[in-house]
Amino acid sequence: MPKFNANLTMLFNEVPFLDRFQAAAEAGFKGVEFLFPYAFDKDAIAERLDKHGLVQVLHNLPAGDWDAGERGIACHPDRVGEFQDGVGRAIEYATALGCRQLNCLAGIAPAGVDAEKVHATFVANLRFAATKLEAAGIRLLVEPINTFDIPGFHLNRTAQAIALIEEVGSANLWLQHDVYHMQRMEGELANTIARHLPKIAHMQIADTPGRHEPGSGEINYAWLFRYIDQLGYEGWIGCEYKPAAGTREGLGWIQALAG
């Protein structure tokens, strides 16, 4: 059976954030992830993880002003100092939380900036972050995101991410494969996962349309989960979906599709 973890940004959001750790544990999850921890005291989060026996699987590097619509700053030439400061802050949190993976959101390409400069900035920032995280014993991940949900997002296909990883040239840069995003952008899920499995450090799931629970849409998750197991994937799979009718009410998909 795949090793699922709960994304606390999207699941159990009917309760305050720090109470979601208990809710996740009571629902049977052994690991959690979320977008950002930075609005909360890292010791308070660490205490919840320890109290409920949870692994902090993943969180993101700081990504600019999320509430204002920013979705990452790693490709912004005028935000390099801010990005580098964010790497240091992320390492502090990840170390306190025992988190061994951090995801870097590329961001929406800034308007009016030369595309080559945008790309070169992203490559340089990833090299910086990969080096700093490696020294701290933390993996750096990059994630392609579909441009239907986030128009203009700089990194949006698997092949693009793999080429980027090769260009950066760090052994500490990995792929986060989000099944939902890649179904929307390119399909061909099984062959793509198999081809790039050695570089996939983390997966995330949701169905489409709607980004609801697995089994609610067009993706044959029962088959895909078996296939991923057969490939020998040993990482976590993050449940990053919008519950259609409440998190607890919708968790039956785990036994139905992956049991």
Instruction: Exactly one of 33, 218, 234, 240 is catalytic; name it.
Output: 240
Is 143 a residue of the active site? yes
AA identity, residue 19: D
Sorted by sequence, the CB contacts under 8 Å of residue 187 that are 6+ apart come out as none
Q: Tokens for 217?
A: 């849409």
Instruction: Exactly one of 143, 167, 234, 249 is catalytic; name it.
Output: 143
Report d(CA 170, CA 92) in Å as an integer: 22
Is 240 a residue of the active site? yes
Report d(CA 102, CA 168) in Å as an integer: 17
Q: How far is CA 2 from CA 37, 139, 182, 220, in A?
A: 26, 21, 19, 15
Q: Are strands 55-60 and 173-178 parallel, antiparallel or unpaired?
A: unpaired
Report d(CA 53, CA 60) in Å as an integer: 21
How many helices (H) and strands (E) the chain has is answered by: 9, 8
What torsion do the CA atoms of 5, 16, 251, 9 make, to the nearest 10 degrees?
Answer: -50
Question: Which residues belong to the active site?
Answer: 143, 240
